[in-house]
Amino acid sequence: MELRNLITFIHVAELGSFTKAAEQLGYSQSTISFQIKQLEEELGCLLFERINHTITLTEQGRELVEYAHQVRALTEDFKETITKEDLRGHLHIVTPDSICEEMICAHYADFHKKYPSVFIRFSTGDTGNMLNMLDHNEADVIITLDHHLYNKDYVVAAEQQLPMHFVASAKSKFATRKGLSVKDIIGEPFVLTEYGQGYRRVFDRELAKRSLEITPILEIGRTDIITSVIMENDMLSFLPDFVTEDLISSGKLCHLDVTDMNIDIWKQLIYHKNKWLSRSMKAFIEYIKAHEFTN
């Protein structure tokens, strides 16, 4: 059995398409089809149902996926065991905007200094897109800011519960008021992160439980822009504490004393259970656990 054919099978199974697998692997579609046919003939079973230009894994195909990942992982482990090269590799990390900005500014230079031959591509996305990218092996590791996620297909390498608060300029009329209700501020101008994404979705869900809704005057993924806007204007937002803590400490922003809505979100470091953990990926995970998930 050729390892090349198993690798091709993994890509087709993850992407659900011969065409996409060909594009990712740099093969022609006919080469992909030939390799899968060769594997099916060697194993004596059909791995994919082919109906109306769509493919789905057969029962035997689903069983092979796990074994194929194990073979690839063992092969890659052996390659790394016999090589004496320094830690090297390419990683694709996907996070929300606020996490991406913070990680690059606070940690990237230090990580690069420690591991100069590990090259990182950062992308941003919402939780649904990130999980989809893990499922299709388009991302190595994701970091979410959302409700607590658990799924048997994912490994949560680290997690941390994070508080959130309503925030405003320190000059806001609400800055010194105690015992506020959500209804006291619901009609104020809000600047929020984008609808349907991460902790904004959690926030909207909590409002909906109270039959309330906030229509923001501005939606934007960049939390640094949100904090800048509300610092200079009579506007409110709802943000995780790690985004605002420096501005709160310096007296530029304040937490509003809203007593009837307490929301915590979870920051989680996640990879797919079938993902082979290269030395560079292990190093990244351990580094981020030590620097991003400390209490």
CATH of the domain at 29: 1.10.10.10
- Kindly state the helix (H) or strand (E) to which residue 269 belongs, with its residue range: strand 264-272
**Domain enclosing residue 272, as ranges:** 89-160+267-292
How many H-runs (helices) and E-runs (strands) does the chain carry? Answer: 12, 11
Residue pair 265/146 in contact by the 8 Å Cβ criterion = yes
Residue 63 sits in the same domain as residue 194: no
Same domain, 177 and 233: yes
Where does a domain end: 63, 82, 101? 82
Examine the domain organization and report whether 142 and 213 are in the same domain.
no
Residue 82 scores a pLDDT above 70: no
What is the CATH classification number for the domain harbouring 174? 3.40.190.290
Q: How many domains does the chain have?
A: 3
Q: SS3 for 263?
A: coil
Q: Measured at the alpha carbon of residue 129, what is the angle toward residues 190 and 68, in degrees to the nearest 5?
A: 160
Same domain, 221 and 173: yes
Q: What is the CATH number of the domain that holds 283?
A: 3.40.190.10
* CA atoms within 13 Å, Cβ hemisphere of 113: 5
Q: How far apart are CA 103 and CA 88, in angstroms?
A: 20
* Angle at 130 (CA atoms; ends 127, 136), nearest 5 degrees: 145
- 157-196 pLDDT per residue, tens: 999 999 999 999 999 999 999 999 999 999 999 999 988 8
Q: What is the pTM of this model?
A: 0.71
Task: Write out the two tokens for 57.
Answer: 């894994």
Check whether residue 156 and residue 174 sit in a common domain.
no
Residues 135 and 170 in one domain: no
**Residue pLDDT, tens place only, 111-130:** 999 999 899 999 988 899 99
170 and 237 both lie in a single domain:
yes
At 160, list the tokens: 């941390």
With H, G, I as helix, E, B as strand and everything else as coil, classify residue 161. Answer: strand
Asked whether residue 208 falls in the same domain as residue 288, the answer is: no
Say yes or no: 205 and 277 in one domain.
no
Question: Is the same domain home to 144 and 280?
Answer: yes
